[in-house]
Structure 1
C-alpha cells in the first residue's frame, strides 16, 4: 500500500476544491487533491457550464424558428430550421472537455499532485484512496472537505427510465416530445425553458403557490409571462405523486385535491440538492453538523482542528462562486495568512428567460430590519440598448437606507442581466451609496445605464422616466 504525506489535502476537485488547491500551490503549500471523477465537479461537468451551453443553443434555435415562421420583427426570414440535439450535446461536451483540461493544467502548473479515486477518512489526518492501481494512504497536516452536493431523489420518483435528474437532462440526444418538470426552482425552469424552445411540450409542477419562490413576485413576473409565451404550462400548488404504471405519465394531486395524469416522455425531477456527506467515512471523525450540512465557522473551520469544509457541503447558498471564495480563503489560512469571511453579499443568478440577478437584500428583507428604506426601479422599456435587443421586458431595482443612502440590495430581471451581477456585487462590497452609483458615468447605450437610473430614481430625479 502506497503512502504519501503533504501539508494540505483537498477532497473534491469542484470549483471550491480546485481553487483552494491552486491557490495553496501558488503559495508554496505542498498540496494533494483527490477527485473520483473529472476535475471541475458538478458545476463544470453536469451543471453550470453545460446548462448555459444548451441555454444558448436553445436561444439560437428559437430565433431561427421565429425567422422561419415569418415572426421576426427584424425582417429576417429563413428556411425551416432543424435541430440535431446529439450534435448540440457533442458541442457542449467539447466545451466541458476543454475546461476539464484547463483545470488539470492549472493544478499541475501550481505544483498540486492529483490523485484519482475515492477518499475515505481513517482519522482526522489520514485518508485512504481507492485508485485504479490500488489503495493509497494520504497523511496531511490540514484537510479540506469539498465534496459538493447531488440532486435530491424523491422516494416515489426514483431516478431511472423516464425519470431523470438535471445530469441526464443535459445529456439527452433527442428532444423529448413531452417533458414534465417536478420543481419550479431555477434548475427546473432553466432546463424546462431550454426544451420548450427546442419544441417540447413542457409542464412544470410546483408544490408552492408560485415558481421561483426564493425571489419576490415582482422580480419573477416577467419570467412567468415569458413561460406562458413559450407555451410552458405551470401548475402551482400541486404535488407529484409518482409514475404511472406504464411509465408514460406523471401522477399529480392538483390544487383542488383531485388526481391528474400529465403525459410525459421524460420526467425531470429538480426539487433541490443535498450535501454529499456519505461514503467518505465522516463517521470516523465525528464532525459537528448543522442539519444535513457540515458546521463551519467564519474561516470554514469545522469542529475538528485542522479540518476545513467549503462549498455546497456546508450549506446555502449552494453557489460555485461562494465555494471558490471559501477555497481561496482557506488556502491562504493554511499558508499562514490572516484571513476571514467578511463578504457583504454573494450574487445569485437565475439563467431563465429573462435572467434574474439578486445581490444583498430585497425590499421586504430590508424593511424587516427596521428603519426606512428607499427603492428605485428603472424599467428596461425605457433603455435604448434593451429595446434594440428586443428584450425590454424587465427592470433594475436598487434598495437603500433612507437616512444615509447606503445600498442594501440590488435586483434585476431582463435579457443578459447576469452580466450586470459583477457591478452589483462590487457596489455592495465597496459600501456604495446611491450618490456613488448615480455619480458614476455609465457607458451609453448599455443596459448598465439602468443601474444608474435606478439609483437616480431612488434619489428622486431619474432622467429617462
Structure 2
C-alpha cells in the first residue's frame, strides 16, 4: 500500500526532527524515517554523550584540585560504569522529549532504512524485517517533497593496521563501560580529537595527539590554536604536528609509526582514537536507477538546499559546509520554509562554533586574518581574562575575548572567546552580527558583576581604546 505525505524526511537528527516539527507547525503531513535511534548522531553518538562524559571528567579534575579552594577530599575515584549509565539516562530523557515533540506535531515516525526511488518515492525496509530476516514487503511512501538529513559517520583513512582491536572511533569510545585506555593516542587534532584529549587527560590518562596540519584546531583562529596547545601541554598532553601516520602494529601495546620533517617516529598506546573527520551517510541511499549531483561524498545543493532533482532537498552533514548540530537545525527550518514559500525566519550568515574543552572555546564570523583576506580594513578589541574578577575568584584558567570590526562603521564581523562559559557567551556576538550592531552598541549594555560576561563590555570598548579594566602591559 502506498502512503502519501507532504514531506518525507530521511534522518531524525537535529536537522531532520526540527524540519519535521516545522512542517507540522505549517500544517503539513510529514513522515520521518530513521534506521537507528531517534535523535541521530548528535544525541546518541556525538554532542550530548560527549558533553555528558566531559561534565563528569571536569568534575573529577576539579575535585582533585580542590585544595586550592580550601577543601580536602580523600578516596576520590571515578566509576566509568556509572558515568556511562548517567550518559544513557541523559540521552534517553532527551530522546523521549524529541518523540513527544514529533507526536505533538503529528509527525509519523518510521523505523527502517530508506531508499530514494525517484523525486517523489521512497522505499523503506522496516527494522523488524531487517532484524528478523523476514520476507516482509518494503513499505512504499510517496511525497510531494523529500528532505535528506542522513548525517555523517567517522571516517577511517587507509592506514595499515587501522582495523585492529583497540583502534577505535569516537562512536566506540563513547560506549566503553570500562576505562581501558590509560595511555591514549589520538590521530587527529580537530574538535573531536581535542575534546577526547581533554576527557582522558582529566580522568588521569596519558594522552598523545598526532596532527597532520601545522597546528591543532587548524580551522580555528591561530591564537586560539596556540592557547589550547599551550594549555594541553601544560597538563602533560604530548602534541605532534605536521606528522603523518604511516601504519599501526601490535606488540604488547599498539605501536603507531608516523613521520614528520625530522624522520620516522613511534608512539605506544593502550588505545588509539581515530578522529580525522567524518564522511556523509549516502551509501545505498539511492536506487541504482536514481542519482543526484554530488560534490565528492556530499550532496550538491543550491542556496535553498535544493538538490539537482526537483522536490528533493538536503541539509546538515550530508552537504558541504559547517558540520554542526545547530547549523543542521537552522538549515532544516530554512529548507521547509523554502519548500512552501514561507518567509525566512532564521539567519544563516552567523553560525557559532563551540569546543567544550577547559577553558571553553567559542567563535562566530570572521577572524582578523579572514576579514583582511576578504578586503576589510579591520579594527579589533581584545580583553585578556587575567583581569576578570570571576576568573580570579574561581581560580580559572586565563583566556581572552577578541572582537573583529569593520573600521568603516565599527560593525562586528566576528568574535573569538576562550574562557569558561565561552559557549554560552558567544550568543551575544552572534546576535550583534545578525542585527548589524556595532562595538559601541555592545559597549552600551550593563552586564552584572562579577561575571565572565562583563568581559564582553571591555572587549567591545577596546575597539576604540576606551576599555577601563584592561591591565597595562606587563602587569599581572
Evaluate the alpha carbon distance shift between residue 438 and residue 333 of structure 1 in structure 2; reply closer, same or farther with a 3 A threshold.
same
User: Map of 1:194-343 to 2, 5 A cutoff?
Assistant: 194-246=199-251, 248-281=253-286, 284-339=289-344, 342-343=347-348
Which residue pairs with 2:38 in the alignment?
39
Asked if 1 retains the 8 angstrom alpha-carbon contact of 2:153 and 2:281, the reply is yes
Asked if 1 retains the 8 angstrom alpha-carbon contact of 2:185 and 2:273, the reply is yes
Alpha-carbon distance, 1:27 to partner: 1.4
What's the CA shift string for 1:271-317, capped at 9, x where partnerless?
01111111111654321222321111111111111111011101220
Asked if 2 retains the 8 angstrom alpha-carbon contact of 1:378 and 1:396, the reply is yes
Evaluate the alpha carbon distance shift between residue 208 and residue 115 of structure 1 in structure 2; reply closer, same or farther with a 3 A threshold.
same
State which of 393, 400, 424 in structure 2 corresponds to 1:395: 400
What's the CA shift string for 1:94-128, capped at 9, x where partnerless?
10011111111111110000110000111121111
Evaluate the alpha carbon distance shift between residue 159 and residue 26 of structure 1 in structure 2; reply closer, same or farther with a 3 A threshold.
farther
User: Map of 1:110-121 to 2, 5 A cutoff?
Assistant: 110-121=105-116
Asked if 2 retains the 8 angstrom alpha-carbon contact of 1:396 and 1:410, the reply is yes
Which residue pairs with 1:169 in the alignment?
173
User: Map of 1:32-181 to 2, 5 A cutoff?
Assistant: 32-67=31-66, 72-131=67-126, 132-133=128-129, 134=136, 135-156=138-159, 157-175=161-179, 176-181=181-186
Evaluate the alpha carbon distance shift between residue 117 and residue 81 of structure 1 in structure 2; reply closer, same or farther with a 3 A threshold.
same
Asked if 1 retains the 8 angstrom alpha-carbon contact of 2:162 and 2:247, the reply is no
The SS at the match of 1:353 is coil
The SS at the match of 1:117 is strand
The normalised TM-score by structure 2 is 0.93
State which of 351, 369, 373 in structure 2 corresponds to 1:368: 373
Asked if 2 retains the 8 angstrom alpha-carbon contact of 1:159 and 1:165, the reply is no
Measure the CA separation in 2 of the matches of 1:371 and 1:57: 43
Alpha-carbon distance, 1:247 to partner: 7.2
Measure the CA separation in 1 of the matches of 2:149 and 2:313: 9
Give unpaired runs (5+ residues) of structure 2: 130-135, 471-476
What's the CA shift string for 1:348-391, capped at 9, x where partnerless?
01112221111000000111122421100001111111222222
The SS at the match of 1:73 is helix
Asked if 1 retains the 8 angstrom alpha-carbon contact of 2:35 and 2:112, the reply is yes
User: Map of 1:6-21 to 2, 5 A cutoff?
Assistant: 6-21=5-20
Alpha-carbon distance, 1:342 to partner: 4.7
User: Map of 1:181-200 to 2, 5 A cutoff?
Assistant: 181-200=186-205
Asked if 2 retains the 8 angstrom alpha-carbon contact of 1:298 and 1:341, the reply is no
Measure the CA separation in 2 of the matches of 1:303 and 1:339: 22
Alpha-carbon distance, 1:160 to partner: 4.8
State which of 415, 425, 440 in structure 1 corresponds to 2:445: 440
Evaluate the alpha carbon distance shift between residue 247 and residue 430 of structure 1 in structure 2; reply closer, same or farther with a 3 A threshold.
farther
Asked if 1 retains the 8 angstrom alpha-carbon contact of 2:33 and 2:110, the reply is yes
Measure the CA separation in 2 of the matches of 1:35 and 1:413: 37
What's the CA shift string for 1:372-426, capped at 9, x where partnerless?
2110000111111122222241011010011211111111111221111211211
Which residue pairs with 1:352 in the alignment?
357
Give unpaired runs (5+ residues) of structure 1: none
Measure the CA separation in 1 of the matches of 2:76 and 2:200: 15
Evaluate the alpha carbon distance shift between residue 282 and residue 309 of structure 1 in structure 2; reply closer, same or farther with a 3 A threshold.
farther
Asked if 1 retains the 8 angstrom alpha-carbon contact of 2:246 and 2:259, the reply is no
Q: Greater shift after overlay, 130-139 or 146-155?
A: 130-139
Measure the CA separation in 1 of the matches of 2:43 and 2:246: 32
Asked if 2 retains the 8 angstrom alpha-carbon contact of 1:177 and 1:201, the reply is yes
The normalised TM-score by structure 1 is 0.95
Query: Alpha carbon RMSD of aligned pairs, Å?
Result: 1.6
State which of 419, 428, 433 in structure 2 corresponds to 1:428: 433
Measure the CA separation in 2 of the matches of 1:341 and 1:85: 40
Evaluate the alpha carbon distance shift between residue 451 and residue 129 of structure 1 in structure 2; reply closer, same or farther with a 3 A threshold.
same
